Amino acid sequence: MIYNFKTMPKVKINRERCKGCQLCLIYCPKGLIEKDKNLNKKGIQPLVFRNGECNGCKFCAIICPDGAVEIYK
Amino acid sequence: MEKIYNLPESLIDVSTHYCPGCGHGIVHRIICEVIDELNIRQKIIGVAPIGCAVIAYKYWDFDCCEAAHGRALAVATGIKRVRPANIVFTYQGDGDLAAIGCAETIHAANRGENLTTIFINNAIYGMTGGQMAPTTLLTQKTATTPAGRDAKLEGYPLKISELLAQLEGVAYIERTSTDSPKAVLITKKAIKEAFQNQIDGKGFSMVEVLSPCPTYWGLKPVDAVKWMREVMIKEFPLGRIK
Ligand SMILES: Cc1ncc(C[n+]2csc(CCOP(=O)(O)OP(=O)(O)O)c2C)c(N)n1
Ligand code: SF4
């Protein structure tokens, strides 16, 4: 199957808002969220979305305690 | 590209003071989502507690009031009786609602006040540094039970929802959780029902939300939600109680 990443939902995590709790990381059913190597201004490693087969389930946004997740399609 | 997930309008778009992985932030957001969906933002009045959520009104873009420790339901009773057309809710932790405010809670519920209460059960006092709450589990270590809560010394975890469900004035009580996205969606549905009951004049409604306090449980946020699933929910079973 060929995936067209251009039309797939995209998750944007506000890196300065993120507190690095990693709840989005453990609940993403596709494993598309990972820790950033660079620290944010809070001094923690924020989470980042890596492009992939996002199915738009919104689990990351629903569990985020900090309202740091936006999803686009 | 179109945004398919937006923060609710009632939620002020700022960083909160809560610790990483704290459940308060999740519940703040879903309350705002429900308020937007029910289109009651112009009518809502929230009563904030004493506890980590003491400045909840800094994150909510609607009218709010602050109550002394434990007295949120007494303050809310006054507001609702003077302004019955408003929708009034309290947001309270377990120290606030079930310890110092136990009397106010029981009597407001028993009077069947037409109010909505969101009760955040994190089994500990967060704001003051992790002391035992009435809802602390047996063997759970806290600042005041360093060897773990012992029933002989400190009694048993207080099931305030089950207690309140006995009272005639109570219309609706449900216990939900925030340990997973699915649990958060169930919590949102319950909160919506609790607000709808007030709109329909049904009487006192409360949603007890199990919520992680990773900081004073001494766990990483991802381990805290695991602990909730494996231990806490066994002591505080989820579902509709009344
Ligand atoms: C009259 C009074 N007594 C005691 C306190 C100290 N105090 C502040 S918050 C708190 C407990 C908060 O715990 P909880 O309601 O569970 O909320 P959390 O911080 O866990 O969200 C206590 C005892 C106070 N502020 N006022
Ligand atoms: S102390 Fe606990 S309840 Fe308070 S903000 Fe931190 S995690 Fe949340």
Residues B182-233 have pLDDT tens digits of: 999 999 999 999 999 999 999 999 999 999 999 999 999 999 999 999 999 9
* C-alpha separations of A49 from A42, B220, B230 in Å: 19, 21, 29
Count of beta carbons in the 10 Å neighbourhood of residue B6: 11
Please name the residue whose Cα sits nearest to atom 20 of ligand 1: B126
Q: Which of the listed residues B142, B213, B227 should we mutate to test ligand 2's pocket, taking the one with most ligand atoms within 8 A of CB?
A: B213
Q: Does the residue A32 lie in any domain?
A: yes
| Residuewise pLDDT in 10s, chain B (242 residues) | 899 999 999 999 999 999 999 999 999 999 999 999 999 999 999 999 999 999 999 999 999 999 999 999 999 999 999 999 999 999 999 999 999 999 999 999 999 999 999 999 999 999 999 999 999 999 999 999 999 999 999 999 999 999 999 999 999 999 999 999 999 999 999 999 999 999 999 999 999 999 999 999 999 999 999 999 999 999 999 999 99
* C-alpha separations of B65 from B47, B98, B101, B113 in Å: 5, 20, 17, 18
Q: Does the residue A52 lie in any domain?
A: yes
Q: Does the residue A40 lie in any domain?
A: yes
Residue B190, both tokens: 């319950």
Q: Does the residue A26 lie in any domain?
A: yes
Domain that holds residue A53: 10-72
> Ligand 1 centre and the CA of B125: distance in Å?
6
Q: Does the residue A4 lie in any domain?
A: no
B180 vs A27: CB contact, 8 Å cut-off?
Answer: yes
Count of positions (residues) in chain A: 73
Q: Does the residue A62 lie in any domain?
A: yes
Domains present along chain B, CATH in parentheses:
24-236 (3.40.50.970)
Query: To probe the interface with B, which of A8, A15, A49, A62 has the most B CB atoms within 10 Å?
Result: A62
Residue A59, both tokens: 């689990």
CATH of residue A29: 3.30.70.20
Q: Which residues pair with B89 in a beta bridge?
A: B46, B116
Q: Does the residue A2 lie in any domain?
A: no
B222 interface with A at CB cutoff 8 Å: yes
How many domains does chain A fold into? 1
Q: Does the residue A31 lie in any domain?
A: yes
